[in-house]
């Protein structure tokens, strides 16, 4: 069972506070639901807490919400996955830089019978077929990195999805995937969440994968103390260094292999791949 450090009540999220020991340094990490739902933090955070004698509190929301928290000075560090938003965040002066950490990819899943006939097509073509026949599709619709990617893919298909067939969950990745399974619907999902929960998903299968448009890179961003002097920039910088260090990258590279038969994420720091 995954250990939840902190999940903020934002758009169907439940707030759970993780206790911190008196005198221990505290870090607030705003990150995506996929990194929490996949179980990665269970492997990555405890060794960091031990090494730096600290407590990490994780706010697991979509990338857009995580960045809004940081823009309000409510997070010390971000682990997110939407390059355009990340670069804008830096350009707006809320951070000095964004740093590569890891990547995986998105997959388009759908009913095993594939009523839209999109199996094996480029992702934009598959989405066009889904829209053409009005096959059920569940979107996160939560301004997450996954939602932003989905909207870009619809745009590449020349479409603005709407109608009864296009359902909006407003939820995290795991919850959205489960809704798609219940509705026998198509869904865009990051591979880590898919691999972590595929045994519980009984009517869906991966239909489109390997398209270059489905690449999914993650970055770590230390929020600027110049904007918010109260932030724990020292510990945030240590966290960014840890997950990009040989130890952190090794944890990322090996995570999931024993349980799922495949790595869920792939390290992106040069020399760690």
pLDDT of 203-252, one tens digit each?
999 999 999 999 999 999 999 999 999 999 999 999 999 999 999 999 99
pLDDT above 60: residue 5: no
CATH number among 3.40.50.20, 3.40.50.12280, 3.40.50.1860, 3.40.190.10, domain 105-214: 3.40.190.10
Whether the predicted pLDDT of 23 surpasses 80:
no
Please state, as a whole number, how many other Cβ atoms lie within 10 Å of the Cβ of residue 19.
7
pTM for the whole thing?
0.86
Query: In the predicted model, is pLDDT for residue 188 greater than 60?
Result: yes
Domain residue spans in the chain? 6-103+217-267, 105-214
Class of domain 6-103+217-267: alpha beta
Tell me the mean pLDDT in the region 179-190.
98
Cβ-proximal residues to 83 (8 Å cutoff; 6+ apart), any chain: 217, 219
pLDDT in tens, 160-183: 999 999 999 999 999 999 999 999
The number of beta carbons lying within 10 Å of the beta carbon of residue 51 is 12
Could you give the C-alpha distances from 82 to 62, 128, 148, 149, 242, in angstroms and in order? 10, 23, 7, 8, 21
């Amino acid at each position: 069972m995954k250990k939840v450090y902190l999940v903020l009540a934002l758009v169907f999220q439940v707030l759970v506070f993780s206790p911190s020991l008196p005198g221990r340094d505290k870090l607030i990490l705003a990150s995506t639901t996929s990194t929490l739902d996949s179980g990665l933090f269970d492997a990555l955070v405890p060794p960091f807490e031990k090494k730096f004698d600290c407590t990490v509190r994780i706010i697991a929301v979509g990338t857009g919400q995580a960045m809004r928290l940081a823009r309000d000075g409510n997070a010390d560090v971000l682990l997110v996955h939407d390059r355009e938003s990340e670069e804008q965040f830096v350009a707006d002066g809320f951070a000095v830089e964004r740093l590569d950490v890891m990547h995986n990819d998105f997959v388009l899943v759908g009913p095993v019978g594939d009523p839209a006939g999109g199996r094996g097509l480029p992702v934009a073509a598959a989405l066009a077929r889904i829209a053409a026949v009005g096959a059920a599709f569940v979107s996160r619709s939560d301004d997450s990195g996954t939602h932003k990617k989905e909207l870009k893919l619809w745009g590449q298909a020349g479409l603005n999805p709407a109608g009864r067939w296009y359902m909006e969950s407003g939820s995290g990745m795991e919850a959205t995937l489960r809704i798609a399974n219940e509705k026998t619907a198509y869904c865009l999902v990051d591979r880590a969440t898919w691999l972590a929960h595929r045994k519980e998903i009984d009517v869906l299968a991966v239909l489109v994968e390997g398209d270059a448009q489905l690449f999914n890179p993650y970055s770590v961003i230390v929020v600027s103390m110049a904007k918010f002097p109260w932030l724990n920039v020292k510990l945030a910088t240590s966290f960014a260094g840890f997950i990009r260090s040989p130890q952190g990258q090794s944890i990322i590279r090996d995570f999931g292999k024993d349980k799922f038969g495949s790595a869920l994420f792939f390290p992106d720091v040069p020399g760690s791949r």
